[in-house]
Amino acid sequence: MRRRRKTLLVVVIRRLLTCAICVIALLGFLTIHIYVAPLNRLPRLHLNKYTTTSRGGHIKYEKSITEQSSTRNLSRRETIESPSIFSNPKKSEIQNQILTSKHINNTHELSPPPFVTSPSSSKLNTTSGIADFDKLWKHPPNRNFVPCVNPNPTYISPLESRGYLLVHTNGGLNQMRAGICDMVAIARIINATLVVPELDKRSFWQDTSKFADVFDEDHFISTLSKDIRVIKKLPKGIDGLTKVVKHFKSYSGLIYYQKEIATMWDEYKVIRAAKSDSRLVNNGLPPDIQKLRCRACYEALRFSTKIRSMGQILVDRMRSYGLYISLHLRYEKDMLAFSGCNHGLSASEAAELRKIRKNTAYWKVKDIDGRVQRLKGNCPLTPKEVGILLTALGYAPNTPVYIAAGEIYGGESRLASLASRFSMLMSKEKLATKEELKPFMNHSTQMAALDYIVSVESDVFIPSYSGNMARAVEGHRRFLGHRKTISPDRKGIVRLIDKIGRGAEKDNKKVYERMIEIHKTRSCGAYNNTDKDHQGGEKDQLQEQKVWRDIVLRSLSTKIHYRTVSVRE
C-alpha cells in the first residue's frame, strides 16, 4: 500500500513538471510572437549620419563622429511616399508651413511642403536591403585621413605691413572663392594688408553683389587676424600714395611673389591684382601657406547670415523627404556656349550658343566641334544621360533629387527625360516661395551659394560636369568627413549610351552593369584622383592646371588637408 502511494506521488510530480514545462514553452512562444510585430515597426537603421547645427537661424557645418558610425535613423517624415507626378507641391498647401522672408534670419523651417496627394503608410523604399543601401548611400572610408589646417608651432603673427593689396576677383561664385583664398596666401607671402576683395560684376552673370552680400565680412576679417591684416576699404588720406595695377602670372610659386611682387613695395604702396583666378601654384608651397588657404576657404569664407539661413531652410525641407541626392546639373546656357557642346540641341539652339561664344571676348576658343568634345568626355552630361546613370547605379524612381543649377537651357522640357525616371525632382524654386527667394533673385552668385549649401549637406553629391562648383563641393565634403560624391565617367557613359542609340547594344542590363563597373572607383573616398582618366586625355604638361585639390601629408600620411582651386570654365 505504501509502495502504491509512492508511485502515485511520483506520477503526480511528473505530470506537474510536464505541465510546468508546457506552460513555460507556451509563454515563451507567445512572448516571441507578441513582441516581433512592434520591432518590425521600428525605424530602419541608416548609415553615416552627419550633423548640421544651427544657432540663431544660421547654418553651421560640423564634422560628426557619427559619420564613421554604422547607423542612421529615418523619421517617419523622411520615409513618406513620393508623389506620382513631377510637379511642385501646391502653393496653397505649403503656405502655412513656409517662412516669409521677414523671418528667414530668425527661424528654421522644419516641415517640408506636403505632397499634392496624401501620403500612404508605405515607406520611401529607395533600397532593397542593407547591401543595396550600403552601395547607394554609405560614405566611403576615410582611411584615417583627417583635416589638418592648424598652423605649425613655429607659425608667427603677421609682420608689419608694407602696403595694401587690392583684389578684383573674376568668375562665378566658386572661382572667386578659390581666387580669394589664393590672395589671402599671397598677402601673407608679400607682407600686405588685404583690402576686402571686390566681387566680379562684369562677367557673363552681371551680378551686382558685394562681398558682404555673399560672405560674412566681419567673420572673414576676424578669422584671419592672426594670419594677415584685412580691412574693409582703403583708409582716407592715401590718395597720394603710388599705385599700380598688376596682372599676377598664373600658377606662380613662392619665388615669383617674393622676388618679383614683394620688391614692388619699394616703388608702390598700393598694388591692385587685376585678376584673382589661379594666380598661385597648386603644389610645392610651404605647408603653412597651404594650411592658410584651407583656413581661408573652409573657416574664414563663411556665407552671409541671410544665405546661411535660407540654405538651412532648403536643407531641412529636402531632408524631410528622406535621404537625397544633390545633382549639380551643369546644363545652363553659359556652360554650353563656352564648351561648344550641342548634343541633342536644335539647330537654332546650337546657333544661339555659337553666337554667345563668338561675342564673349574673354572666351578665347571660338570654333569648337561639339561632337568631338562630347566623345572626349569634355561636355556636361545631358539630363537624359544623368537619368540613365542614376538608374544604372540602382537609385529608385522615388529617390529625392535636388537640382543644383541655374536656369536649365531648354527649360522643363529639357528635364522631361530625367523626370520620367525620377519623379521627385526638387530645386530651390520648388522648395521655397517667390517671396522667400526674392532677396536672392537676379543675383546669380547668391543663388549659387544656396545650391552650394544644399549640395554640401546632401547624402550623395553627383556633378554632371567637373567644373568649379563640382570641385568646390567635393573638396568641402571631403573636408567635413569624406561624404559620398560620385564623379561620373563622362567619356565612358557617352560611349555606352551611344551603343544603345546605334543598336549595337540592345540589352540595357548589360549596359547598366558596365556603368556600375566603371564607377566602382569613382565614389570619392580619402583621395581618388578621378580627373585624369576618361575626361579628355589631358597632356602631362597641362596637369598642373587640372589639379583642383592640394594635398599636404603629415605624420606618415595619417593626416591630410584639402583645398579647392579652380580655373575659369
For 135, counting Cβ atoms within 10 Å of its Cβ (0-12 exposed, 13-18 middle, 19+ buried), the class is middle
Decide: 173 and 181 in contact? Cβ < 8 Å. no
Residue 124 has pLDDT above 60, yes or no: no
Closest CA to 232 of 196, 187, 284: 196
Alpha-carbon distances of 205 from 446, 448, 485, rounded to whole Å: 11, 11, 27
Residue 174, CA atoms < 13 Å, CB-side half-sphere: 26
Q: Which residue has the cell 518590425?
A: 40
What are the E-state strand segments in 420-488? Answer: 425-426, 460-463
DSSP 2: H
Provide the grid cell at 229. 591684416
Taking residues 144-162, report their average pLDDT.
91
Residue 502 has pLDDT above 90, yes or no: no
Decide: 73 and 46 in contact? Cβ < 8 Å. yes
User: Which amino acid type is present at position 68?
Assistant: Q
Taking residues 333-348, report their average pLDDT.
90
DSSP 249: P
Provide the grid cell at 92. 496653397
Would you tell me how many other CB atoms lie within 10 Å of the CB of residue 372? 12
Residue 226 has pLDDT above 50, yes or no: yes
In which band, very low, low, confident or very high, does the pLDDT at 228 lie, cut at 50, 70 and 90? very high
Taking residues 175-188, report their average pLDDT.
96
pLDDT in tens, 461-484: 999 998 899 999 999 999 999 999
Would you tell me how many other CB atoms lie within 10 Å of the CB of residue 276? 27
Alpha-carbon distances of 404 from 314, 325, 426, rounded to whole Å: 11, 10, 9
Taking residues 108-126, report their average pLDDT.
36
Closest CA to 268 of 192, 169, 183: 192
Dump the DSSP string for 47-114. S----EEEETTEEEE---GGGGSS--BPPTGGGPPPPSSS-PPPHHHHGGGS--GGGTTT----SPPP
In which band, very low, low, confident or very high, does the pLDDT at 74 lie, cut at 50, 70 and 90? very low
At residue 552, the 3 state secondary structure works out as strand
**For residues 124, 128, 130 and 136, what is the CA-based torsion angle, rounded to 10 degrees?**
-80
560 Cβ partners below 8 Å, 6+ apart? 145, 146, 147, 148, 526, 527, 551, 552, 553, 554
Helix axes 173-189, 444-456, angle to 10 degrees: 90
Decide: 165 and 273 in contact? Cβ < 8 Å. yes
Taking residues 335-348, report their average pLDDT.
91
Residue 328 has pLDDT above 90, yes or no: yes
Element (H, E) at 230: strand 229-231
Q: Which residue has the cell 528654421?
A: 108
Decide: 164 and 269 in contact? Cβ < 8 Å. yes
Q: Return mean pLDDT, the chain.
A: 77
Residue 545 has pLDDT above 50, yes or no: no
Distance of CA 379 to the CA centre of its chain: 20
Among 140-149, 308-317, 426-435, 560-569, whose mean pLDDT is lowest?
Answer: 560-569
Residue 565 has pLDDT above 80, yes or no: no
Provide the grid cell at 455. 549640395
Decide: 432 and 313 in contact? Cβ < 8 Å. yes
DSSP 221: H
**For residues 417, 421, 422 and 426, what is the CA-based torsion angle, rounded to 10 degrees?**
0
Helix axes 305-319, 444-456, angle to 10 degrees: 50
Closest CA to 543 of 271, 251, 223: 251
Residue 175 has pLDDT above 80, yes or no: yes
Taking residues 173-180, report their average pLDDT.
95
Taking residues 476-498, report their average pLDDT.
92
Where helices occur in 332-423 by DSSP H, the ranges are 333-339, 347-359, 370-375, 383-393, 411-414, 416-421
Alpha-carbon distances of 83 from 298, 315, 401, 430, 468, rounded to whole Å: 37, 19, 13, 14, 33
Provide the grid cell at 266. 619699394
d(CA 406, CA 148): 34
pLDDT in tens, 398-444: 999 999 998 898 888 889 999 999 999 999 999 999 999 999 999 99
Provide the grid cell at 466. 567637373
In which band, very low, low, confident or very high, does the pLDDT at 137 lie, cut at 50, 70 and 90? very high
pTM above 0.75, yes or no: no
In which band, very low, low, confident or very high, does the pLDDT at 15 lie, cut at 50, 70 and 90? confident
d(CA 107, CA 364): 47
d(CA 107, CA 102): 10
Where helices occur in 241-375 by DSSP H, the ranges are 254-255, 287-295, 305-319, 333-339, 347-359, 370-375
For 120, counting Cβ atoms within 10 Å of its Cβ (0-12 exposed, 13-18 middle, 19+ buried), the class is exposed
| Domains by residue range for the chain, with CATH | 163-300 (3.40.50.11340), 310-539 (no CATH)
pLDDT in tens, 46-65: 333 333 344 333 333 333 33
